Amino acid sequence: MSPRTLSRLERQIGPRPQITLVIQDQTICEIWVNGRAPLITLYDYDWGKTDPDPAFDAEGIAFSQINWRGPAWTLGLCL
């Protein structure tokens, strides 16, 4: 397989990362970024309303930041 040609922007800032979602029974059971399992960070805006110490996005909206270190399938993400 020959390497793909990078766009002008990708030549300036580097190639875009590639994400692979492995789906089984309509559930995301694995997440890979550039061939590695990433640390996953979720911004939960629903919990941010009641979080006693929320983070805030650029528009000032509260969210709870969740840093996930377990396997992706234990998150229960589904399509």
The DSSP result for 32-65, as a single string, is: EETTBPPPEEEEEHHHHTT-SS-EE-TTS-EEEE
pLDDT in tens, 9-50: 888 998 788 999 999 988 889 999 999 989 899 999 999 999
Res 59 pLDDT > 90: yes
Instruction: Provide the pLDDT for residue 78.
Output: 80
Question: Residue 30: beta bridge partners?
Answer: 22
Instruction: Provide the pLDDT for residue 62.
Output: 96
